[in-house]
């Protein structure tokens, strides 16, 4: 066991502030660096002006600062192969990176790869076909075999915008053509996965794995649309609740047996090195779980409700992931409910202003404010993104937690503040 760990956490959102906040509570932590971080992470560690996709720069920082472990928040560095880069560099080889290898990251980086993985390992998911420009006609024919609505997914990473749901067949044909032929999502839509539509209610299950063993973390539900009642454009997420009331023991047993175990065993069978988070987006279809997608990182804002419920030391957990000894660790979870309400900039998810001064942070009581898109400017906290602050609260139930977050959502102010007032409305 290494005492006094120096840790480099990669990322700059609410997810990373929540992780940094929790890492700081560990007696095992010596120094915490966040690259690039935000005004919130700056209060719990040292921000480092580093581009996480510039691997040689990350290497030099790790070497120069005696870093013992690297934790990767967002998917981009994982999909670009940061884990493989560390393993290929003699000096970095023995420094654990929490996150999957490049091949493992394809579970998020390629929809076709993840569908093939699920089929290979008998994991329940929507039926699908995969098409390129050369097979456009076959794509049209496949669409005709499906019922409305039609689900079209760009194969590659498209900043969370690559999924289209079309009500009419003619619209689906036009969109398929636009994705494949007109490169609607750039090279991300050179291939398109067409799926059966699953009718149900969504939730996310998070798993931490060392490649052999796993821990199922608390379930969470996020609210993706910008408008009340889940209307309007998709966002990164406007709020979240944990646990999800309908994810009861019976449902979670199905998730574990049918999805989590075959996923972890499938990774091992396929020889994929995976030591990190698996985010499983699920649809509950009449009590039966189906996988909508895998992500290879934690969700945001789900992290802002999941991490505050984990009582186990996060450094111990990550060390066990690196050493493949997760089976030796007890995961303890706070039984209380957590919720988070995201304060955003008006205009988001379209165009919005940045650089507006945030007031009232010091007046927040009995909630934890995780910064999502902020920056520090000579001691002033300024907005620096569409999603600005996530206000997390605990409660004996969902109503209590939400009341607390909403009370504080009114205490913090900046020009153009907007938030949804109906988080949890469907539960």
**Contact residues for ligand GLY (CB under 6 A)?**
222, 236-237, 295, 299-300, 302
* Residue (210 or 302) nearer to ligand GLY, CB: 302
300 binds, among ligand AMP, ligand GLY, none (CB under 5 to 8 A by kind): ligand GLY
Nearer to ligand GLY, 139 or 373 (CB): 373
Residue 195, interface with ligand AMP (CB under 6 A)?
yes
Options 198, 238, 364, 388; binder of ligand AMP; rule CB under 6 A: 198
Under rule CB under 6 A, residue 163 binds ligand AMP:
yes
Q: SS3 string of the chain?
A: CCCCEEEEEEECCHHHHHHHHHHCCCCCEEEEEEEECCCCHHHCCEECCCCCCCHHHHHHHHHHCCCCEEEECCCHHHHCCHHHHHHHCCCCCCCCEEEECHHHHHHHHCHHHHHHHHHHCCCCECCEEEEEHHHHHHHHHHHHCCCCCEEEEECCCCCCCCEEEECCHHHHHHHHHHHHCCCCCHHHHCEEEEECCCCCEEEEEEEEECCCCEEECCCEEECCEEECCCEEEECCCCEEEECCCCCCHHHHHHHHHHHHHHHHHHHHHCCCCEEEEEEEEEEEECCEEEEEEEECCCCCCCHHHHHHHECCCHHHHHHHHHHCCHHHCCCCECCCEEEEEEEEECCCCCCCCCCCECECHHHCCCCEEEECCEEEECCEEEECCCEEEEEEEEECCHHHHHHHHHHHHCCCECCCEECCCCCCCCC
**Contact region with ligand AMP (CB under 6 A), list: 129-137, 190-198, 356-364, 369-377:** 190-198
Count CB neighbours of 425 within 10 A.
12
Which partner, ligand GLY, ligand AMP, none, binds residue 73 by CB below 5 to 8 Å per kind? none
Residue 295 binding target from ligand AMP, ligand GLY, none, CB below 5 to 8 Å by type: ligand GLY
Say which entry of ligand AMP, ligand GLY, none residue 299 contacts (CB below 5 to 8 A, set by partner kind).
ligand GLY
Nearer to ligand GLY, 356 or 371 (CB): 371
Residue in 190, 202, 256, 400 binding ligand AMP, rule: CB under 6 A = 202
Q: For tokens 């075959």, what's the residue?
A: 262
Min dist CB 114 to ligand AMP, Å, is 9
- Picking from 309, 250, 261, 307, the residue whose alpha carbon sits closest to that of residue 284 is 250
Give the one entry of ligand GLY, ligand AMP, none that residue 62 binds, where binding means its C-beta sits below a cut-off of 5 to 8 angstroms depending on kind. none
Q: In this chain, which stretch among 194-202, 370-378, 400-408, 415-423 interacts with ligand AMP, using CB under 6 A? A: 194-202
CA 21 to chain centre: 17
What's the distance, CA 264 to chain centroid?
A: 18
Distance of CA 281 to the CA centre of its chain: 10
202 binds, among ligand AMP, ligand GLY, none (CB under 5 to 8 A by kind): ligand AMP
Q: Give the residue with the Cβ less far from ligand GLY, 302 or 319.
A: 302
Shortest distance, position 56 Cβ to ligand GLY, whole Å: 28
- To 10 degrees, the CA torsion angle through 155, 158, 164, 169? -50
Residues 291-310 within binding reach of ligand AMP (CB under 6 A): 292-293
Q: Residues touching ligand AMP: how many (CB under 6 A)?
A: 11
Using the minimum distance from each CB to ligand AMP, give the nearer residue, 19 or 280.
Answer: 280
Q: Does residue number 151 form part of the binding site for ligand AMP (CB under 6 A)?
A: yes
| Binding window for ligand AMP (CB under 6 A); candidates: 70-78, 131-139, 197-205, 206-214 | 197-205
Question: Least distance to ligand GLY from the beta carbon of 204, Å?
Answer: 7
- The answer to the question of residue 113 lying near ligand AMP (CB under 6 A) is no
User: Given candidates 36, 96, 281, 395, which one binds ligand AMP under the rule CB under 6 A?
Assistant: 281
Task: Pick what 237 binds: ligand GLY, ligand AMP, none; C-beta below 5 to 8 Å, kind-dependent.
Answer: ligand GLY
User: Does 126 interact with ligand AMP (rule: CB under 6 A)?
Assistant: yes
Both tokens of 9, joined, read: 């956490």
Which residues of the shown chain bind ligand AMP in the complex (CB under 6 A)?
A: 126, 151, 153, 163, 195, 197-198, 202, 281, 292-293
């Amino acid at each position: 066991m290494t005492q006094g760990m120096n840790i480099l956490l990669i990322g700059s959102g609410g997810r990373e502030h929540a992780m940094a906040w929790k890492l700081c509570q560990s007696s095992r932590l010596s120094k915490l660096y966040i690259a690039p971080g935000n005004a919130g992470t700056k209060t719990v560690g040292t921000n480092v002006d580093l581009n996480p996709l510039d691997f040689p720069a990350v290497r030099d920082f790790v070497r120069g600062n005696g870093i013992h472990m690297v934790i990767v928040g967002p998917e981009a560095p994982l999909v670009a192969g940061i884990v493989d880069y560390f393993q290929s560099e003699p000096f970095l080889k023995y420094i654990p990176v929490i996150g999957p290898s490049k091949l493992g990251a394809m579970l998020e980086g390629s929809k076709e790869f993840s569908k093939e993985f699920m089929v290979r390992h008998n994991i329940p998911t929507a039926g699908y076909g995969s098409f390129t420009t050369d097979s456009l006609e076959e794509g049209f024919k496949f669409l005709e075999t499906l019922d409305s609505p039609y689900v079209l997914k760009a194969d590659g990473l498209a900043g969370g915008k690559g999924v289209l749901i079309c009500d009419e067949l003619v619209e689906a044909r036009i969109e398929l053509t636009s994705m494949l032929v007109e490169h609607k999502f750039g090279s991300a839509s050179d291939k398109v996965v067409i799926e059966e539509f699953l009718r149900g209610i969504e939730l996310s299950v998070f798993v931490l794995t060392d490649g052999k063993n796993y821990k199922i973390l608390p379930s969470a539900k996020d609210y993706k649309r910008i408008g009340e009642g889940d209307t309007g454009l998709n966002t990164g997420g406007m709020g979240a609740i944990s646990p999800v009331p309908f994810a009861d023991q019976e449902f979670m047993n199905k998730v574990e047996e049918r999805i989590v175990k075959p996923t972890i065993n499938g990774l091992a069978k396929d020889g994929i090195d995976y030591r990190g988070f698996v985010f499983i987006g699920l649809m509950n279809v009449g009590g039966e779980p189906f996988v909508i997608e895998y992500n290879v990182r934690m969700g945001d804002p789900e992290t802002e409700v999941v991490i505050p419920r984990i009582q186990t030391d996060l450094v111990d957990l990550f060390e066990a992931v690196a050493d493949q000894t997760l089976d030796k660790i007890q995961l303890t979870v706070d039984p209380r409910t957590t919720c988070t309400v995201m304060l955003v900039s008006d205009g988001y998810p379209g165009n919005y202003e940045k650089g507006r001064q945030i007031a009232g942070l010091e007046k927040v009581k009995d909630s934890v404010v995780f910064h999502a898109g902020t920056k520090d400017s000579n001691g002033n906290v300024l907005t620096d993104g569409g999603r600005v602050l996530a206000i997390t609260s605990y409660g004996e139930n969902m109503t209590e937690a939400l009341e607390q977050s909403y009370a504080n959502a009114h205490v913090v102010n900046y020009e153009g503040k907007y938030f949804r007032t109906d988080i949890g409305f469907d539960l």
